[in-house]
Amino acid sequence: EAQVTQNPRYLITVTGKKLTVTCSQNMNHEYMSWYRQDPGLGLRQIYYSMNVEVTDKGDVPEGYKVSRKEKRNFPLILESPSPNQTSLYFCASSSGDLYEQYFGPGTRLTVT
Amino acid sequence: AQSVTQPDIHITVSEGASLELRCNYSYGATPYLFWYVQSPGQGLQLLLKYFSGDTLVQGIKGFEAEFKRSQSSFNLRKPSVHWSDAAEYFCAGDYGGATNKLIFGTGTLLAVQP
């Protein structure tokens, strides 16, 4: 089954404790993105990747890092989480010529 | 700047009634347009998409949307709403370029009354 998976689905952590949210897709897609969803703001892109070892900032990259060492994986790293990073995070992947993004189930992160 | 606007934050309709959710995109090159639905606690599911061609597109779950260039709109419609349609609906545009980035509207929360 074609899918995008994220782990963990729920995470509660404390300020400053490094964390990683994993994202994996099994569709051999070139493009992958991370979005955060906040009430009243819709979804905003954090980072994106056009292929292995190619990443760039989206609209709200501050406080986040990403890497793309393998085509299927695109982890999101918060080196020093802060309460304003409490949000619902979505990973998405797409094939560049189809322009249709597939979304993971989301990771709800709470930073206290 | 490129943007997608959903003017209605919250809409309530009666079960069986018709539905129209509004979406407007900013001027300039016409983006690829999408409607997604997010049920409570769930991820985003693609309802339909418009790239070019026929301006009336059919999607899943009985939804359709009409692209109107003159109004910069891509409104979502359903002739008869079911209680299971209660969810949040997002319109999104892809203006192209290297990022493959979707620009989302802020969403419309649909409530369905019995």
Distance from the Cα of B110 to chain A's closest Cα (Å) equals 14
d(CA A61, CA A52): 19
Question: Cβ–Cβ of B100/A106 closer than 8 Å?
Answer: no
d(CA A65, CA B60): 36
Question: Cβ–Cβ of A31/B43 closer than 8 Å?
Answer: no
Nearest to A109 by CA among A19, A1, A3, A16: A19
Residue B31 has what pLDDT? Answer: 81
Question: Cβ–Cβ of A45/B99 closer than 8 Å?
Answer: yes
Per-residue pLDDT of chain B (114 residues; tens, 9 = 90+): 788 999 999 999 999 999 999 999 986 777 889 999 998 878 899 999 998 888 999 999 999 999 999 999 999 999 999 999 999 999 999 876 656 678 899 999 999 999
Residue B97 has what pLDDT? Answer: 62
Residue B98 has what pLDDT? Answer: 54
In angstroms, the Cα distances linking B27 to B4, B9, B70, B103 are 10, 22, 10, 14
Which residues in B lie closer than 8 A to residue A100 (C-beta atoms)? 34, 46, 49
Where is pLDDT greater, at A101 or B72?
B72
Residue B101 has what pLDDT? Answer: 75
Choose among A33, A42, A104: nearest Cβ to B100.
Answer: A33
A89 touches chain B (CB under 8 A): no
d(CA B101, CA B2): 11
Residue B102 has what pLDDT? Answer: 82
**A32 is written with which tokens?**
């992958």
Phi and psi (nearest 5°) for A29? -75, 145
B49 touches chain A (CB under 8 A): yes
- Cβ contacts below 8 Å, chain A against chain B, sum to 58
Phi and psi (nearest 5°) for A10? -135, 140
Choose among A56, A100, A105: nearest Cβ to B43.
Answer: A105
Is the confidence at residue A2, as pLDDT, over 90? Answer: no
Where is pLDDT greater, at A65 or B44?
A65
Residue B66 has what pLDDT? Answer: 96
**A7-50 per-position pLDDT tens digit:** 999 999 999 999 999 999 999 999 999 999 998 888 999 999 98
